[in-house]
Amino acid sequence: MDVVSYSSAASPLSLLLASSIRNPNRAFNFTNPFIQPSKKNSNLVLVSCIKPQKLGLKKLLNWKGKLKQHFPFGLVRIVVGVVLVMSVSVAVSRSPSLALTEENLLFLEAWRTIDRAYVDKKFNGQSWFRYREDALRKEPMKNRQETYTAIRKMLATLNDPFTRFLEPEKFKSLRSGTQGALTGVGLSIGYPIGFDGSPAGLVVISSTPGAPAYRSGIMSGDVILAIDGTSTETMGIYDAAERLQGPEGSSVELTILSGPETKQMALKRERVSLNPVTSRLCEVAAVGKDTSRIGYIKLTTFNQNASKAVKEAIETLRSNNVNAFVLDLRDNSGGLFPEGIEIAKIWLDKGVIVYICDGQGVRDIYEADGNNGIATSEPLAVLVNKGTASASEILAGALKDNKRAVLFGEPTYGKGKIQSVFELSDGSGMTVTVARYETPAHTDIDKVGVIPDHPLPTSFPKKEDDFCSCLKDSTSACYLNKIKLFSR
């Protein structure tokens, strides 16, 4: 961390020159709020934000013409430069001394992470440098918990629910979840509800097959009213997720509203393996004597195994001579952004996948070049719903805008921002909103979602076995023949 604490015993000039040699463009990247770096000219960094009147520099620079009459011009430049450095050194030495503790340094590490990575460089309309100085002077940071509180308070000023702080154990749990397993009850929870007469609480997006919640009968659409006796009416989804996770073998009590019935249940936490993909071969009677062989792939999360699992499913189904695919992204709340990109490349021969944008506009473009495409020609239908979020929306938007797939269902969740995970030096961490994204058609889906091409019947099944059976039955309310399923 490039923070220098000056004391009266140190020589500001010697420290300044040493920093300038190491990195001339960051010579003043320290806690003094009056001096800021200038990237254009390292010689001007010394006085870039100090008014000349305070240092008498206006008069000093006027001496230049008089000195030229008696000394060579090169010597004049040296003299002026030395006096400037000495003047700034005096200004620095008179600034308040700030002795940084270990807790201060951890806070500054978090502050600097936001300063570098956060998408909104206006920081929700506040001076980020001024906040740092005020917090170091006013916020109590005598122990680790007080420092954590100060970090959370700092992040709250951004008014961004997706930029959050995690203590070491919770950060470790977050990382394990993206790596394919976590300890909990196997619930994916979503947006809070409480409108149009709906009960206030948190909605179950999906329940992991085989996990404790699934075995207890908790299903998609159920509402969690309370966790361990604490109402979820005003509880954020991240707070709820942290409460649901915990040590293996420990218990959590849930109050669940399932239809008209309210249930109290105690679930024992287990290590839940997150297999991101299930697949089925569906044979569907088509027009005439032909039989359509449809490969159904359900993708439930974007963990580090997701793209590999999708490839394996495609290869297995292709060995059974499928002639079309269905990719089910319903109730997939997202995960790792890079996995979403890699899965898009599997289906696309070429084309833009997503535009990454910051406050200045498009910052980066992710594209498919065909090198990773293994299923770029077969007809493809994609199923989405309001539980389809984040990386799922990137994938769905890319396939729709590139006219690679037909989308069925309802508008997706509408999370158009991207977070990165940063680990701090004590093992804690932060998720930070680093960018927003647009689909290939430059659609900003934040709070709007990806709009499908066609709706799905309300009775359309979510389980893969029921999907195949439903497509076979021409009298079923959810029957869709091949022509409707794969044409625009």
Q: Which residues are catalytic?
A: 390, 415
Tell me the two tokens of residue 383: 């199923």
449: part of which helix (H) or strand (E)? none
What letter would DSSP give residue 385?
-
CB contact at 8 A, 248 and 269: yes
Report how far apart the first and last C-alpha atoms of the chain are (Å, whole number): 54
Pairing of strands 277-285, 270-273: unpaired
Question: CA-CA distances (angstroms) from residue 254 to 71, 139, 249, 261?
Answer: 85, 36, 16, 14
290: part of which helix (H) or strand (E)? none
CB contact at 8 A, 387 and 333: yes
- List, in order, residues 6 or more apart from 314 with CB less than 8 Å away: 295, 297, 325, 346, 374, 375
CA gap 396, 392 in Å, rounded: 6
**3-class DSSP state of 245:** coil
466: part of which helix (H) or strand (E)? helix 464-472
Tell me the two tokens of residue 445: 């889906």
Angle between helices 337-347 and 306-319 (to 10 degrees): 20
CA gap 189, 219 in Å, rounded: 11
Helix ranges (DSSP H) in 269-359 = 306-319, 337-347
Residues in the chain: 488
Tell me the two tokens of residue 130: 């001024």
The owner of tokens 């040590």 is 247
Tell me the two tokens of residue 247: 């040590």
